[in-house]
Structure 1
Amino acid sequence: MTVGNLQLGGSPSVRLHGRGNKVRICPLWSTTATSLTRLVADRNKSEAVFLGRTNQPLTRFGIYRLVTQYAAMAGETVPTLATKRVSPHTIRHTTAVHLLRAGVDINTIRAWLGHVSLDTTHIYAEVDLEMKAEALARVDISSLRPPPRQPSLPSLMAFLKTL
């Protein structure tokens, strides 16, 4: 991602090139835009936004290393996190589930993730059993009555004897 891919003015956003050379524009929180503005101040539009220790563009392997490193550090204070495998994809998946739980429609999440097919994104809806339980709990069934009991029917043998 280059500095030129950032739009940090009025409606902050970033233009991303994904797998298969797909391009999408994603909005940014104003706090993120503020941080990025400070990070890229006085830099050329063709320069990479994120640089590694040697001032070279950060690669996907560098990002993976940073995520796992900080997840391990967080695991020291959050013991349940220490046993989990955290990767950039984990963050992507977790974000999608949080969006779904917040009530964002599945088609918007599909566009956010850059999925071509809604079927790919539908996996997130299938995965979240907690959301299904919450939806079930919101349904008021207190006014429902059990169906009336069927009157006893004569037994099959009694019927056959009458033939």
Structure 2
Amino acid sequence: MPCCFSLYNSGARADEAAKLTVGDLQLGVSPSVRLHGKGNKFRICPLWPMTATSLTRLVADRDKNEAVFLGQTNRPLTRFGIHRLVTQYATMASKTVPTLATKRVSPHTIRHTTAVHLLRAGVDINTIRAWLGHVSLDTTHIYAEVDLEMKAEALARVDISGLREPPRARPLPSLMAFLKAL
């Protein structure tokens, strides 16, 4: 479960989580994670205390060069292993949340959810871009375009009490009537 918390908390890609080492975690006073993303770029994301506590237990007494997420054989998980974990947890969760049974849940779904929840919380789009490690703001704008619920809420805040329905247009004469009048 620490893997799923970490994915949601940081918006990490599956590959970024797979490459995560114990040394990339700062679990003290201001907990954070250093992610190695696309284009060999690094970014730092803050962690909730709950995530930090979970990760602290997971990496206790481990070397800083070890992978954070290990499989049953104590070997580092690959991005495919992380994907498998996420789908297994989604299947387990669908027993309590039946709507999940019809959805395809992947690490990218969790990443997308992070972005949408940050957006709904009022976080500005440039901060979300940095959080997700996007180079271009255009990539991040996809999340702003996708959220129909936010658009509906914005529409509900618009005061239309002073608007009137436009007058009905008079019917236009038919083409035959026009031609006969010539």
Same fold, TM-score > 0.5, yes or no: yes
Q: Secondary structure at the match of 1:46?
A: coil
Structure 2 partner of 1:33: 52
1:51 alignment partner, one of 70, 93, 105: 70
User: What secondary structure is seen at the aligned counterpart in 1 of 2:67?
Assistant: coil
Look up the match of 1:154: none
CA distance in 1, matches of 2:51, 2:125: 24
**Counterparts of residues 12-91 of structure 1 (less than 5 Å):** 12-91=31-110
Which stretches of structure 1, 4 residues or longer, exceed 6 Å deviation after superposition?
Answer: none
Identity level (%): 86
Rounded to whole Å, the distance in 1 between the matches of 2:84 and 2:166 is 63
Partner of 1:10: 29
Q: Measured at CA, do residues 40 and 121 of structure 1 come closer, stay the same or move farther in structure 2, by a change above 3 Å?
A: same
CA distance in 1, matches of 2:103, 2:50: 28
Q: CA deviation at 1:88?
A: 0.3
Q: TM-score, normalised by structure 2?
A: 0.76
| CA distance 1:70–1:147, change in 2 (3 Å) | closer
Superposition CA RMSD, Å? 1.7
Measured in 1, the distance between the counterparts of 2:30 and 2:66 equals 22
Taking the aligned partners of 1:129 and 1:36, their CA distance within structure 2 comes to 34
Q: Which residue of 1 aligns with 2:15?
A: none
Aligned match for 1:122, one of 130, 134, 141: 141
State the distance in 1 between where 2:58 and 2:163 align.
Answer: 63
Gaps of 5+ in 1: 150-163
Cα offset, 1:77, TM superposition: 2.7
Matches of 1:148 and 1:78 in 2, distance apart? 46
Number of equivalences: 148
Q: Distance in 1 between matches of 2:30 and 2:163?
A: 53
For 1:107-118, list aligned pairs within 5 A: 107-118=126-137
Q: Deviations over 1:23-54 (max 9, x none)?
A: 00010001111121122111111111111011
Instruction: Please name the residue that 1:96 is paired with.
Output: 115
Unaligned runs of 5+ in 2: 1-19, 168-182
Out of 144, 153, 156, the position equivalent to 1:137 is 156
